[in-house]
Amino acid sequence: MIIKTQPVSTSTEIKNLPKLHAPRNEIMAFDLEWVKAAQANTSAIERRTNSLPGRRSVKKEYQAGWMLKAISCIDLTTLSGDDTANRVRRLCAKALNPVRRDILDALGIEQITTGAICVYHDMVGTAVKALEGSNLPVAAVSTGFPAGLTPFHLRLQEIRESVKAGASEIDIVISRRHALTGNWQALYDEMCEFRAACGDAHVKAILATGELGSLRNVARASLTCMMAGADFIKTSTGKENVNATLPVSLVMMRAIRDYHARTGFRVGYKPAGGISKAKDAVTYLALLKDELGNSWLTPEMFRFGASSLLGDLERQLEHYVTGNYSASYRHAIG
């Protein structure tokens, strides 16, 4: 039984945030000097991020509000070798109704959805059909995900096929070797071709930050991909040994802020891989608000790449309205 409780906070920090209708990021001329000027002070970055959870904690109805915000920014994902059409259809149903109706009623919330569904190319058609009539976008991982080592012409064709199948967002993986060898021109040229192949579909550039060797390379790869027209920059495929971290997120957010200051274009951010707890999601949102402001606190500009995070967020929301923790199996994520 759900106990009726006070509505979640209507603070402008978590509700009624501005809808962003900024122009789409455009391909600009490659500026190697700007890229090479990007540096990263690892010790300072770690000090900043290590202190964040304690300095930016929220409680009670504010915490519930931030968790609802986190749900609205999830790219609900299934990227398994044993994916089936039925699994994808269940995931789509969960994306459209991510929180049990009794919990939403107790919170005073009419409706909420996740930010998108993310699947392999072969499941794009199934997801598009399952979401027909809704505004929920389908994202497809592409370009030889997760390694990005298939022949280049096949990576471009994979993008085109996913767009043709109905994907409105394409998550591409960069060639890590370009970043590891400092061949930023090659990375820029590759990203420009990926962007062109996407057409009207928005492109998220996955940097695979756990394999780039240094935070400096993360900063430089971020700037290079944004110059080449990336609509989002994303940390990881979720398949690396190290995926999203707060230090990497700070570096990428600072690159986004620098790019916006110089060009006027807003680029989105997507941490992915390893974010499975509600408290961690709130910490990422706090960092985003600190570094980029309220304009990025929307599904149009921020996404979590996650599969299990939704289950913990729903579980924590039930704890907020009842005072009790339920078993994880009562909060299916698809």
Task: Please give the positions annotated as active site.
Answer: 171, 234, 270
Distance separating alpha carbons of residues 70 and 80, to the nearest angstrom: 23
Enumerate the H helices of the chain as residue ranges.
32-37, 42-50, 52-55, 60-72, 85-96, 101-107, 124-130, 152-165, 176-180, 184-198, 215-227, 246-263, 278-292, 309-322
Residue among 306, 242, 295 at smallest CA distance from 271: 306
The DSSP 8-state label assigned to residue 173 in this structure reads E
Distance separating alpha carbons of residues 80 and 244, to the nearest angstrom: 19
Distance separating alpha carbons of residues 42 and 221, to the nearest angstrom: 16
Residue among 227, 159, 156 at smallest CA distance from 187: 227
Per-residue burial over 227-254, b if 16 or more Cβ lie within 10 Å, else e, is bbbbbbbbbbbbebeebbbbbbbbbbbb
Helix, strand, coil percentages (3-state) for the chain, rounded to 5, are 50, 10, 40
Distance separating alpha carbons of residues 161 and 165, to the nearest angstrom: 6
For residue 50, the SS3 value is helix
Given a contact cutoff of 8 angstroms between Cβ atoms, the answer to whether 305 and 118 are in contact is yes
Given a contact cutoff of 8 angstroms between Cβ atoms, the answer to whether 94 and 71 are in contact is no
| Straight-line distance from the first to the last Cα atom of the chain, in angstroms, rounded to the nearest whole number | 23
Structure tokens at 116: 């998108």
